[in-house]
Structure 1
Amino acid sequence: MDPQSAFDAIAEVIRAIPRSGLLAGTIAALLLGWIGALMLRNKIAGGRLVRTVSTLALVGILTTVFLQLARFDPRLDAVTQIGMAEQRIVGEETLVPMAADGHYWVVAEVNGVPTRFLIDTGATLTALSGEAAARAGLEPRTGGLPVMLSTANGTVTAELTTLGNLSFGNIAAEGLDAVIAPNLGNTNVLGMNFLSRLEGWRVENGDLILDPGTAAES
């Protein structure tokens, strides 16, 4: 990652702290550091320990926010893939552990190309970034009408395509409708049109459990 990208990522982490639930923790850690500095200045025992605890708390907060944001930034894939929980087959089901950012991520093969997806039950359609679609050799449907998608940033235009094959764990789906949506950024999404092909899905103990049955094979 080049220095400018690193600077941008750090700046985004700092800007994200006030928007997260970690603001109170950040303020508390800063206050603790100030108390530790006063204790050291007045030669009160334990001041250095208090300063150390404050520093560790701030580092932990910055790391947490960084990892949450980095999941959506392809420039940081090499970092975020380290220690990322992987889906696994348990009996006849595929189990997807919740990631540290509170989301469910899978690495699926799209037409044989490994592609990282966010599983989003609030999304109607499966969507791929322009980059991911190009890697998988996906093209917009000839003569197809553009699809208008509502996002937090307004309405964007996407083009329909068809995934010849998508598979991960013990799940395989063929001929799945999807959209190529470069304006959505670089996050690929598995939506309800994929989940509806499954026999069922549920969340247990924080894990997303997918039951393929026979519906996901066609």
Structure 2
Amino acid sequence: MSRLMVFALLLSIGSLAVPSAFEAYRDKFLAAPPEAVDAAPAVQTVSVAPPASTPSLSQGQSLQLNADMAGHFRTDARMNGMRVEVLVDTGATLIALDETTARRMGIVPAPADWSIAVQTANGLAHAARAKIRSVEIGPIRVRDVDALILKDGSLATTLLGMSFLNALDRFSVADGRLTLVQ
């Protein structure tokens, strides 16, 4: 069973690394206009730009993220208080981040922790399990979120996976918007 879960995780991470690599290449050569921010009466809408101020962190909050031109949801999150650009990835079981980002957040796996083999677009990589104390996007905050740390160069961007999304009351995608509700 454990091997099946690791295999599913490998497929999730690998399947998302290829589009991310393409997006990095495309973004170098195509200048896209920034997404517009639309405000809905009861919902805070957040575009791909970071929020201008520190949000309140009460329960019963919601926000919307607008899809970028490729249909992906990118935003800034705060992980252990540090700003991190993320790609919301419903195909990733866990949050996946590189070693440098984890180190900046105060997470440094021991050599023995690098025991999980994962398949990425760049080939086989080793990962370490971790727990992120706090992950915030706008007014949404989730504590003690499971994550995988991969060696630098294995990921094009930090993936915000289902270990975060499943901790919410609900999330949905409609009309190019991802709605998160806590």
Q: Distance in 1 between matches of 2:137 and 2:32?
A: 17
Judged with a 3 Å threshold, the aligned counterparts in structure 2 of structure 1 residues 155 and 85 are, in CA distance, closer, same or farther, namely farther
* Structure 1 residue ranges (4+ consecutive) displaced by more than 3 angstroms after TM superposition: 70-73, 79-82, 84-89, 141-145
Q: Output one character per residue of 1:9-32: Cα deviation in whole Å (capped at 9) or x when no partner.
A: xxxxxxxxxxx9xxxxxxxxxxxx
Aligned equivalent of 1:13: none
Asked if 1:105 corresponds to 2:56, the answer is: no
Higher helix share: 1
TM normalised by structure 2 equals: 0.65
Q: Distance in 1 between matches of 2:37 and 2:103?
A: 24
Aligned equivalent of 2:62: 93
Task: Tell me which amino acid in the other structure corresponds to 1:119.
Answer: V
Task: Tell me which amino acid in the other structure corresponds to 1:99.
Answer: D
For residues 187-202 of structure 1, the aligned pairs below 5 Å read 187-202=157-172
Q: Decide whether the 8 Å contact of 1:93 with 1:170 is kept in 2.
A: yes
Aligned equivalent of 1:51: none
Asked if 1:139 corresponds to 2:90, the answer is: no
For residues 29-68 of structure 1, the aligned pairs below 5 Å read 68=23
Q: Decide whether the 8 Å contact of 1:131 with 1:186 is kept in 2.
A: no
Q: Distance in 2 between matches of 1:158 and 1:71?
A: 28
Q: Distance in 2 between matches of 1:106 and 1:195?
A: 14
Q: Distance in 2 between matches of 1:208 and 1:162?
A: 25
Task: Tell me which amino acid in the other structure corresponds to 1:105.
Answer: R
**Which has the higher Rg, Structure 1 or Structure 2?**
1
Aligned equivalent of 1:165: 134
Q: Distance in 2 between matches of 1:179 and 1:131?
A: 13
Q: Output one character per residue of 1:22-51: Cα deviation in whole Å (capped at 9) or x when no partner.
A: xxxxxxxxxxxxxxxxxxxxxxxxxxxxxx
Q: Give the number of aligned pairs.
A: 143
Q: Distance in 1 between matches of 2:26 and 2:107?
A: 23
Q: Distance in 1 between matches of 2:129 and 2:101?
A: 14
Q: How far 1:184 moved relative to its partner? A: 1.7
Q: Does the residue aligned with 1:163 lie in a helix, a strand or coil? A: strand
Judged with a 3 Å threshold, the aligned counterparts in structure 2 of structure 1 residues 103 and 85 are, in CA distance, closer, same or farther, namely farther
Aligned equivalent of 2:154: 184
Q: Output one character per residue of 1:126-162: Cα deviation in whole Å (capped at 9) or x when no partner.
A: 1111222122222226854622222234331111122
Q: How far 1:191 moved relative to its partner? A: 0.8
Q: Decide whether the 8 Å contact of 2:95 with 2:147 is kept in 1.
A: yes
Q: Decide whether the 8 Å contact of 2:71 with 2:176 is kept in 1.
A: no
Higher strand share: 2
RMSD: 3.3
Q: Does the residue aligned with 1:184 lie in a helix, a strand or coil? A: coil
In structure 2, list runs of 5 or more residues that go unmatched: 1-18, 45-60
Could you say which structure has the greater relative contact order, defined with CA pairs below 8 angstroms and 6 or more residues apart?
2
